[in-house]
Structure formats: structure tokens, C-alpha cells
Structure 1
Amino acid sequence: MILKKIKYIAVLTLIATSALAGNRDRSGQSGAGELLFNPWTRSSGMFGLNGSYVSGIEAMKLNVAGLAKTERTDVGIAHTRYLSGTGMSISNVGLAQNLGDVGVLGVNIMSFGFGEIPITTETSPEGGIGNYKPSFLNFSVGLGHSFSKNMSAGVSATFVSEAISNITASAIAFDAGVQYTNGKRDNLHIGIALRNIGSNLRFSGDGFSFNGTSPDFAKQLTVQSRSEKASLPSQLNIAASYDFYLDENKAGESEKPQHRLSAMASFVSNAFNNDWLGAGLEYAFKEKFMLRAAYRYENGIMEKQKSTTLYTGISAGVSFQTKLSNAEKAHAIAFEYAFKPTNIAGGVHVLGIKMSLAKQSN
């Protein structure tokens, strides 16, 4: 049975890999680049390398199969200071609800803030005629389902909206993922996710209109210029991790060890950018205090003149989680922080609060 599941995962990997490949020459040519950004704190602290075991509402932005691990209700909010000092920010909120045999339903809303940008025109290149605020919104709905204790899968759809006062664009992106666990204490985790497969993004609106003249120069006309369509930034994420329980010899069969050290690695094939390869570690004490760090490599990242990313490749994060009662299955709340240094500005800072409501026994 285990071999059959592994073969299934391998076939899915081969099919997805044939459709995607990293391409440096296409960097910056996709639309809706914000789909590649993970706004959740734990995933940011691991630079998205935790696709094999991500769970709850965070799975919506990495591997939707992890939604299926939500016991009852998972709700969270996160705020990102993107490129600190530039005034850009990201606000994110999500909810995951267990629906019983149907699976787990997840909803995630991510909004970008760019502050006020001066309006400039051909006649007023220096501005001084007002400001505008771009609006970037991603609305996602997903469903995760556990087929067995070891195997879960999920699918999601994300509506993408980008707009300024006189130009808008929209698209829809689909994600699919699987997760597999095995081992004495479910130590081994494998995850595969295919993300951002969907419609093209094309801008339209009055902002593309300009005054022209008819072919005979007899009258003035309003001419509408069409923009080029852009594909979404599709990617394939393959991740694996293993949990080492440092005090396992001291813990009994039914007793959970207190010290966990998880080692993980991930490979991401991007259709419109360099491929990513990374590794990381997460230490947890009683699942109350968690410390994590990771490094994600891509071609040219160590050479500023050749690099196509603003990141240095390093990420780190910390979580403090506590139960709200002494019951074995109790509600829990977590306070989290993550940081990713960048080559420009003051890096990316992420703050988050997440609450997990446990299923109460009758």
C-alpha cells in the first residue's frame, strides 16, 4: 500500500515537471507576481520550504493539502512590512473550518498596500496634481481532504484583482497539492504542490484611451489601446522533511517527546524565474516555543550584478504558542514573527497571530 502511494506521488511529480521549468530569460514577464508571496509568518520564517508539513490555514498559500490537518477551526491574521522603509505592506486574514467527512474548507484574503503614489503626466512629469493608490487583492477558497491517516490532498482557486483608478485587471489561479506522512511518530513528510495554473492577466480601462484623429483628419477620435496579456507565475513545489525527537529514548510509547528538531528541503520549479533550492531547520520545545531558520538558493543570488532577486536567501522566525486551558484538547493561540533580509531597503518583517480551536469531546 505504501509503495502504491509513493508511485502515485512520483507519477504526479513527473507529469508536473514536464509542464514547468525554470527560465531566467522570462524573469519579470509573468502577471500577478504577488501570487508567489507567502504572507503567513511560519512559512515566511522557513522561506516556504515547509510545503511537506504545512498545516491549517497557512497551507492555503503553499500546499493546500495541509488544510486537511485542521482539527476544528483555524483562524489567523498576519501583517507584513514589505521592504521596510518603502511604505509598502501586506495584510492577510484566513479561516479554515473542518466540515467533517467533506473535508476542510479554507478562505484566505490577501491585500497589498503601496501607500500614495504621485500622479505624473507628460505635461506634469514632476507631479503635484494629486496621488493615487493601487489596489491589489487576492481572494482564495480551498478544500482539503484526508484520504487516510497518511495521505491528504487539496485544491484551491484564487481570484486576482489589480487596479488603479482607470485601469483594472483580473485573473483566476488554481492550486493542487498532496501530502504524505509515514514513520513511527509520523516523522517523514513529503509534499507536492502545483500552483498558479489559470487564466491570463490583461489590463484594460480608460487609462489606455487617448485622443487621436480620423484617417482623413476630419475629426477627433477617442482611441483605445489594448495591452498585452500575461501568464500567471506557475510553479511546482516538491518538499520533504523529517522530525527528529531529541528525547525520544526518554519518552514512552504513548508519551509525546518534548524536543523536536525538523530538517527539511525543498525544490521549486518556476515557469518565469530561476528555480529555487533550499534547506532549513525548525526546533520546537513542547510545541510551545518554536525557532526556525532556512536558506533558499537560486542561480546568481550571491552575485548582485547577476541576481534577479532582492532577497539574500536567508530567513528566520520564532513562534510562541500556548493552550488556553489545561485540557488535553484545548484551544491554542500563537504569536509569531519572521524576518527575511533583502539587498535593498530594510528587509521583510512579518507579524502574525493564529488561533486554533480544538474539537471538544462529548
Structure 2
Amino acid sequence: MRNYLNKAALVVCALGLSVSAFAGNKDRTGQAGATELLINPWGQSTGLFGMNTSYVKGLESMKSNIAGLAFVKNTEIGLAHSVYLRGSNVSINNLGLAQKIGNLGVLGFNIMSVGFGDITITDFNNPEGGIGTYKPQFLNIQLGFGKEFVKGVYGGIGATFVSQQINSVRASGAAFEAGIQYITGKRDNFHFGVTLRNVGTNMRFSGSGFALNAENPGNENQQMNLQVPTEKFEMPTYLNFGISYDFFLDEKRLKSTDDVPQHRATVMANFTSNSFNNDYLGGGLEYAYRETFMLRGAYRYEQGIGSRETSNTFYTGLAAGATIQKSLGENGPTLALDYSYRPTARPNNGVHTFSLRFMTAPKSKKDASGADSE
């Protein structure tokens, strides 16, 4: 009875998330701000173009479906770097940490910064520059929590502080998210996930950069300091639905159900309802050998993609990536290196993402067992 009530409550929450997200007005396309919240800095997820809503696990789930944070077994530390449109001087740096707190769940911390290089300062009297440079600062600081509530049902919530600023102009806000994953099947090989992200406060730019001096219309000898008003803007809210299925290619050759398959092929599909962008529909495939070497690829479709006249994105829709991970000793930590590439058009420089993850093993089987499944 307890299991039934818990699962029913989670289903009701998922339906509530769906109703909220589909209330968006598509006439507002392109009017959101803080769009760096849509950036995923991790090499695994970007190799699948975010099609792994139902399957993502560990630290990187904080930028996809935070329910996957519950799969952290002990401690996970990750670093990531993205070269955004090579040659543009735009880069993304990311640092994350997740820690399992016994049966209470998993706590996660993530900080992401976007760098734009040096930008030339211009003004009315110096339209060509020559008076210095400045560096915009985009910073996202995120806290998250994930937990296995009942056997096969995982949930998570998170909050992100958003900061954007230059020397004399700044804006800040907070965005919230929640996600659910459900796993079932003979070998836990069917996955379903839903997440609602970036529901948050409005943001507004302010600062001395919007102040200007002007003559008093009634007295030419008098100067007035005027503050230019700014309009508030919303967060780029979106809802993700995903399903995936694991095919164990050597399952028929296993001698018993306790034997671990060596070859896994996971197919996945995903739908994203964006409040301020085109909706996304796509799928992906990942192959793993002994969960040590992995290859993946995906395609994400949106309206007008591939057309010079109607496309709203510089992506081609394709993505590919690979992972190599190895345990350092029988009960030692695991080190993983991920890489992904997403080709772009206009410009066609592409986006390269590298990530390095370090995962420690649980101290005992009890620590790795997750939540109580009663």
C-alpha cells in the first residue's frame, strides 16, 4: 500500500509539471533571457544532444534531468570545458560535485561560467574602440537533491542562481527544476523520465550603465541625470519527456541471470516542449562494451532546421560522442573521460565538449543500495 501511494503521488506530480509547462504561449518565441540555462556542459549528455532524459545518471543529470542525481553511489567530481563555435572566443567551464548522504539521498553542487573573451569598448565618441576592452561575466550556481523514493522510482529537485554582468550593468535571478525517472524490466532496462526546468523569477538589467546626462529642456545651463528604464524578462522554461530501452546483445549467451552482459545498446527518444523556442523531437543510440568504452550519437529535430530562410538555430541537429572509463583497482575509484561534437551551420565551426569525471566506490554494499524499497 505504501509503494502504491508513493508511486501515485509521483505520477500526480508529473502530471502537474506537464500542465504547467504546456501553458506557455508560443507567440513569445525568442523573448526569454538567461538562455545560458539551456546549455549542457557535460560530454556524455551533449553526445546525445540531451535525448537521455530518461537515462542520464550521476552528476551530469543536474543539467538534464536532476532525478538521475540519485544514482551517485558515493562521491562524484566532474570538470568540463566546451569550445563554443571554435574561433569565436566563447568557452564554457563547469565544475560539479555530488555526495551521497546515506539513505537520505544525494546532494549536488554545480557551477558553470561562460566566457566571451575580450570585447572592445565603444561609445558615441569612439565607435571604432581604442578605449579598452571588457569581459561579460555569466555565472550559474546550482544546488540539487536526488533520491530513490521507492524501488525503481527516482526524483530530484534543484535551484540555480543566475548572474549576468558587465562593468556597469547586471541582472540576477533564480531558476528551479524538478524531475522524475522510472525504471523497470527484467534487467532494469526500460527507462522513462520527465523533467521541468528553469521555472524561476523574472530578471531585469540595472546599473549605472543605463544612466545618462541630458540638458534640461527648460534651462540649457542645467544638466539632468536620467535613468533609462529596462524591461523585465523570463527564464527559458521547458518540459522534457524521454523513454529508453537497453538491449543486451549477448544476453542469450549468459549462463545465469547473475552474469553481467558485456555488450549494451540503448535506444532512446525524447520530446522537449519549450516555452520560448521551437519544440524538439529526437532520438539517440548508445553502445557500451563492458561499461568501459561507449560510443553514442543522436539527432534532434526542430521546425525549420536545415533551412537558411526559416531555421532558428545554428545546429544541424546531429551529435556524436564517446566515453572511456576505468576502475582504478578492484574497489577503487573510477576515472572517466567524455568527448562530444555537435556540428553547426552558419558558422560551421561546431561545438566541442570535454569532461573528466572521478567517482569513488561506496564503502559497503549497504551504502550502495539506495533508499528503502518497502
Q: 2:231 aligns with which of 220, 228, 231?
A: 228
Separation in 2, partners of 1:237, 1:86 = 30
Separation in 2, partners of 1:115, 1:67 = 32
In the alignment, does 2:121 pair up with 1:151?
Answer: no
- Corresponding residue number in structure 1 for 2:16: 15
In the alignment, does 2:351 pair up with 1:348?
Answer: yes
Q: 1:322 aligns with which of 320, 326, 331?
A: 326
Partners of 1:331 and 1:355 within 8 A in 2 = yes
TM-score with structure 1 setting the length: 0.95
Q: Deviations over 1:186-218 (max 9, x none)?
A: 001111100000101110001000002345325
- Corresponding residue number in structure 2 for 1:73: 75
In the alignment, does 2:309 pair up with 1:308?
Answer: no
Separation in 2, partners of 1:90, 1:131 = 20
Separation in 1, partners of 2:4, 2:99 = 32
- Corresponding residue number in structure 2 for 1:135: 137
Q: 2:173 aligns with which of 171, 193, 201?
A: 171
**Amino acid of the structure 2 residue aligned with 1:349:** H
**Amino acid of the structure 2 residue aligned with 1:237:** N
- Corresponding residue number in structure 1 for 2:44: 42
In the alignment, does 2:228 pair up with 1:244?
Answer: no
Residue 69 of structure 1: CA displacement? 0.6
Separation in 1, partners of 2:306, 2:348 = 18
Q: 2:97 aligns with which of 95, 98, 108?
A: 95
Q: Deviations over 1:195-245 (max 9, x none)?
A: 000101110001000002345325211111121000000000111100000
Partners of 1:23 and 1:274 within 8 A in 2 = no
Secondary structure in 2 matching 1:43 = helix
Residue 101 of structure 1: CA displacement? 2.0
Residue 14 of structure 1: CA displacement? 3.8
Secondary structure in 1 matching 2:36 = helix
The correspondence of residues 20-39 of structure 1 with structure 2, limited to 5 A, is 20-21=21-22, 25-39=27-41
The 1:131–1:95 alpha-carbon spacing in structure 2 relative to 1, beyond 3 Å, is same
In the alignment, does 2:349 pair up with 1:357?
Answer: no
**Amino acid of the structure 1 residue aligned with 2:139:** L
Residue 149 of structure 1: CA displacement? 2.4
Q: Deviations over 1:43-96 (max 9, x none)?
A: 000001111121111011111111111000011101000011111100001000
Partners of 1:85 and 1:345 within 8 A in 2 = no
Q: 1:260 aligns with which of 229, 241, 264?
A: 264
Separation in 1, partners of 2:7, 2:295 = 31
What is the RMSD computed on CA atoms of the aligned residues? 1.7
Q: Deviations over 1:2-30 (max 9, x none)?
A: 88777656544443333334766433210
Secondary structure in 2 matching 1:147 = strand
Separation in 2, partners of 1:31, 1:180 = 32
Separation in 1, partners of 2:321, 2:101 = 31
Residue 128 of structure 1: CA displacement? 1.3
Partners of 2:6 and 2:150 within 8 A in 1 = no
Secondary structure in 2 matching 1:319 = strand
Separation in 2, partners of 1:6, 1:245 = 28
Q: 1:86 aligns with which of 85, 88, 91?
A: 88
Q: Which shifted more, 32-41 or 246-255? A: 246-255
- Corresponding residue number in structure 1 for 2:289: 285
Note the residue ranges of structure 2 that are not aligned, 5 or more in a row. 366-374
Separation in 1, partners of 2:229, 2:103 = 48
The 1:167–1:17 alpha-carbon spacing in structure 2 relative to 1, beyond 3 Å, is same
Separation in 2, partners of 1:214, 1:154 = 56
Note the residue ranges of structure 1 that are not aligned, 5 or more in a row. none
Partners of 2:321 and 2:341 within 8 A in 1 = yes
Separation in 2, partners of 1:179, 1:58 = 15
Partners of 1:108 and 1:141 within 8 A in 2 = yes
Secondary structure in 2 matching 1:219 = strand
Partners of 1:23 and 1:273 within 8 A in 2 = no
Residue 331 of structure 1: CA displacement? 1.3
Q: Which shifted more, 338-347 or 11-20? A: 11-20
In the alignment, does 2:273 pair up with 1:272?
Answer: no
Partners of 1:86 and 1:345 within 8 A in 2 = no
What's the % identity of the aligned pairs? 49
Q: Deviations over 1:279-327 (max 9, x none)?
A: 00000000000000000000000212100011000000000010100x2
- Corresponding residue number in structure 1 for 2:109: 107
Separation in 2, partners of 1:259, 1:3 = 34
Partners of 1:339 and 1:348 within 8 A in 2 = yes
- Corresponding residue number in structure 2 for 1:298: 302
